[in-house]
Structures are given as C-alpha cells and as structure tokens.
Amino acid sequence: MKTTTFLEGVFVALIISFVSSILLLVLSSLFSGSVLIHLLISGMTLAYLVYLLSRSKERIGRVVVITAWLIGVFSLWIAWPPLTLFILGHLISIWLVRSLYFYSSLVSSLMDLALNAFSIAIAFSVASHTNSPFLTLWCFFLTQALFVMIPKSIQSSASDTPKNEADFQQSYRAAQAAVRQLSTK
C-alpha cells in the first residue's frame, strides 16, 4: 500500500472543498442554514475519515471506528450543541482516527492535536476575513494535509533498543555457560 503524501492531501482538500461548496449552494433552498451547515460538517468529516481509513495500513477496527463515529455524531445531532462545539466534536474524531491509525507515540499524537487546533484556527480566521465557504474549507483541509509531516513515532533512545537486546542475549549466553560449568563439577 502506498503511503499518504502531502500532494494527495492537497487533492483531497480540493475535492472536499469544491464538493461541499457546490452542495452548500444547491441544498441551501432545501434546508435551513443551520441544518445544512451541520449536515455538511458531518458529511465532510465522514468523507475525510473514510479517506484516512482507506490510506491506513492498519486493517483492524475500521467497522468499530465508523460505528463509534456514527454514535458520536448521532449524539451531537440529538444534543444540538452550538456550532463551535459541533465542529469541535468532529475535529476530535479526526484526531482520534489519525492517532489510532497513523501514530505509535503519544508525542506524535499530541503534535497532531496541535495541528488540528492550528487548522481550525486558520479556518475561523479565513471565514471571518473572506466569508467564503470554499476558501475556509480549502484552508482547513490544506492544513490537515500536513499531518503526513508528523513522524509516526518519536523515541528518544531508538538506537538503544538493539544494543540492549544484544547485551541481554550475550548476558544470557554467559549465564547459561556458567550454569553448565557449575553443574559439571
């Protein structure tokens, strides 16, 4: 399986931004503004999560993740929190999926959380300055595409592990030889 690249993330950002902007225009006559925005946020998040899961090398737990996401979104729809909290709930789901499927260290996961905070701050800033749904979504998902730059794992002593294992094997062999020598006397 190919690894996820930044250019692929840019392409996904472009598609999601373009399709969501078109849907916003087309569906604005069918739904109220608030319901439509909530629908689009849930739809974009689902599309992005499906993309992330399709690019992950891990095959375990995908059905559980989507089921948990659906339960969470259903809960958000029932509770109908303010839009900011609704967006935050969806952003947390993106962070959790990437943390579970793309990183193996807490530091990497925290860096992804910071990236999510940065991307939502950029999106709110662009929204307040341009009032353009396309540019807002484009900037948000473009910033999200940077997650590929976060290392999968960050360990302070990665080179010590093989040495420690070799030391252990050498000590084990020396101990076996000593036990054999004692038992033959």
Tally of helices (H runs) and strands (E runs) in the chain: 7, 0
pTM across the whole model:
0.80
Residue 43 lies in a domain: yes
Residue 152 Cα to chain centre, angstroms: 12
The answer to whether residue 33 is domain-embedded is: yes
Mean pLDDT of 57-78: 94
What is the phi/psi pair of residue 100, to 5°? -75, -35
pLDDT band at 163 (very low <50, low <70, confident <90, very high): low
The Cα 30–Cα 26 span in angstroms is 8
Residue 165 and residue 150 share a domain: no
Judge if 126 and 170 occupy the same domain: no
* Residue 71 domain-assigned (yes or no): yes
Would 114 be classed as within a structural domain? yes
Give me 138's structure tokens.
């484009």
Arithmetic mean of pLDDT, 132-159: 87
In the predicted structure, residue 156 carries a pLDDT above the cut 60 = no
Instruction: Tell me what pLDDT residue 164 has.
Output: 67
Q: List pLDDT tens digits, range 95-123.
A: 999 999 999 999 999 999 999 999 999 99
In a domain, 104, yes or no: yes
166 and 144, same structural domain? no
Residue-wise pLDDT for 119-145, tens only, equals 999 999 999 999 999 999 999 999 999
Over 80: is that where the pLDDT of 47 sits?
A: yes
Region of poorest pLDDT, from 25-29, 37-41, 70-74, 152-156: 152-156
Q: How confident is the model over 72-84, as a mean pLDDT? A: 95
**Closest listed residue to residue 94, CA positions, set 154, 36, 44:** 44
1 lies in a domain? no
**Do residues 176 and 91 share a domain?**
no
In the chain, pLDDT over 90 holds for what percent of residues? 75
User: Which of 71 and 174 is assigned the larger pLDDT?
Assistant: 71
Instruction: Tell me, yes or no, whether 77 and 168 share the same domain.
Output: no
Supply the pLDDT for residue 33: 86
Both 181 and 111 in a single domain? no
Residue 172 belongs to what domain range?
Answer: 161-185
Number of domain units in the chain: 2
> Which among 49, 99, 100 is positioned nearest to 70, based on CA atoms?
49
Residue range 58-75: mean pLDDT, rounded: 94
Which residue in the block uniquely carries the two structure tokens 């302070």?
Answer: 156
Please tell me whether residues 169 and 98 are part of one structural domain: no
102/108 Cα distance (integer angstroms): 9
In a shared domain, residues 142 and 169: no
Both 87 and 169 in a single domain?
no
Among 115, 111, 120, which Cα is nearest to 146's? 115
State whether 136 and 174 are in the same domain. Answer: no
Are 98 and 16 in a shared domain?
Answer: yes
The yes-or-no verdict on residue 166 having pLDDT over 80 is no
Residue 87 lies in a domain: yes
Do 72 and 91 share a domain, yes or no?
A: yes
Alpha carbon distance 41, 69 (integer Å):
13
